Amino acid sequence: MKDKFIITIHDVNGIKQYTLKQIVKRYILYFASFILFFVFTSTAVIYFLTKEVSQLSAKKEKLQSQFIQMTKENIALKKSIEQKNSELKQITEKLKNIEEMIGIRPEEEKDLSHRINQLSLTTAQIYHMFKNIPNGSPLKKTVITSRFGYRKHPVNGQRDFHPGVDLRAKWGTPVYSTARGIVEYAGKKGNYGKLIIIQHNYGFKTLYGHLSKIKVKMGDFVEKGQLIGYSGNTGLINGPHLHYEVRYLQRPLNPVNFIKWKKLDYKKIFTRERHVKWESLIKAVTANLQTVPEQQLSVKAHLYQGN
């Protein structure tokens, strides 16, 4: 009975017994335990994998949302960079326009004054420039009593910008034009008192203030060194003197540079007065000198034909 396996079945008909060999019983046991093991392992694996998949998909979702966020930020940054670039471009353009308007050289022409200093002008060019651009003093004797720039106003004591120089002049001292030009204004004007404004070539103007007498009229052509009036003490002033201004494209420049400007060292002003576009000015002078003889020729030819 040792190797026998007995199955006993009870039913209405009585008791029946079946015997199986011990080896079969063992196989059944193995099979059952294998099935159990398989079911257990599969369940564990499936559980593990499911967990892993859900973790991965959570990670994926997180990364996706991060990616979307970064893309959005990237687009916003790009937009802001583009905007900043266009703003910068506009500012640069505006700055250049302003510089051109007030006659300051753009930065790229930094070595301009050096280049201009290398330029040698012909006698004709120098002669032409010293006729047309303010130079020398409007008085026979020159003593500066108040400088160009910020100062304490001699009458009201407030800090203000002095757009010219004050030259010592007794009442009635003759005043001369410092370059040829057209009289733009001759008359009374606020703090200036009796004032003459002369419009010169190449964007220059000179102003002569606090005069006692004016000898020219608006629209008159005046020569370099011509008597235009007499000094005085009209306007906001604490004693007689001549107020003298040099302007270039409406911007007041330091008249001292122009008063000291001499034919012999004509180049000095190119480096001293950097607000003037000397290079283009010399180009204009050259062009003027070349066109004048042609015009004279054509007038002559016209007259000849008339005869």
Nearer to Zn ion, 166 or 273 (CB): 166
As measured in angstroms, the least distance from the Cβ of 87 to Zn ion is 41
For 1-54, the DSSP string reads -TTEEEEEEEETTEEEEEEEEHHHHHHHHHHHHHHHHHHHHHHHHHHHHHHHHH
210 binds Zn ion (CB under 5 A): no
| CA distances (Å), origin 229, targets 25, 63, 87, 133 | 142, 86, 51, 20
As measured in angstroms, the least distance from the Cβ of 110 to Zn ion is 33
Instruction: Please give the residue whose beta carbon sits closest to Zn ion in the complex.
Output: 243
Nearer to Zn ion, 202 or 208 (CB): 208
Sign of torsion over alpha carbons 240, 246, 247, 251: negative
Nearer to Zn ion, 105 or 162 (CB): 162
As measured in angstroms, the least distance from the Cβ of 278 to Zn ion is 27
245 binds Zn ion (CB under 5 A): no
As measured in angstroms, the least distance from the Cβ of 95 to Zn ion is 31
Region near Zn ion per CB under 5 A, out of 114-122, 181-189, 242-250, 261-269? 242-250
166 binds Zn ion (CB under 5 A): yes
Q: Torsions phi, psi of 277, nearest 5?
A: -80, 80
Region near Zn ion per CB under 5 A, out of 46-54, 71-79, 161-169, 231-239? 161-169
273 binds Zn ion (CB under 5 A): no
- Residue 250 backbone zone (phi > 0: left; psi -120 to 50: alpha; other: beta): left
As measured in angstroms, the least distance from the Cβ of 207 to Zn ion is 10
As measured in angstroms, the least distance from the Cβ of 273 to Zn ion is 19
Among 148, 147, 205, 212, smallest CA distance to 179 is for 205
Nearer to Zn ion, 224 or 243 (CB): 243
Among 194, 243, 247, 277, indicate the residue that binds Zn ion (CB under 5 A). Answer: 243
Spatial contact of 264 and 252, defined as CB atoms under 8 Å apart: no
Region near Zn ion per CB under 5 A, out of 40-48, 134-142, 162-170, 246-254? 162-170
Burial code (b: 16+ CB inside 10 Å, e: under 16) for 86-121 equals eeeeeeeeeeeeeeeeebbbeeeeeebbeebeeeee
3-state secondary structure of 82: helix
**Distance of alpha carbon 72 from alpha carbon 210, whole angstroms:** 68
Region near Zn ion per CB under 5 A, out of 38-46, 95-103, 166-174, 252-260? 166-174
128 binds Zn ion (CB under 5 A): no
Region near Zn ion per CB under 5 A, out of 7-15, 222-230, 237-245, 248-256? 237-245
Amino acid at 133: I
Spatial contact of 177 and 139, defined as CB atoms under 8 Å apart: no
Among 306, 173, 175, 187, smallest CA distance to 235 is for 187
> In the complex, which residues of this chain contact Zn ion (CB under 5 A)?
166, 243
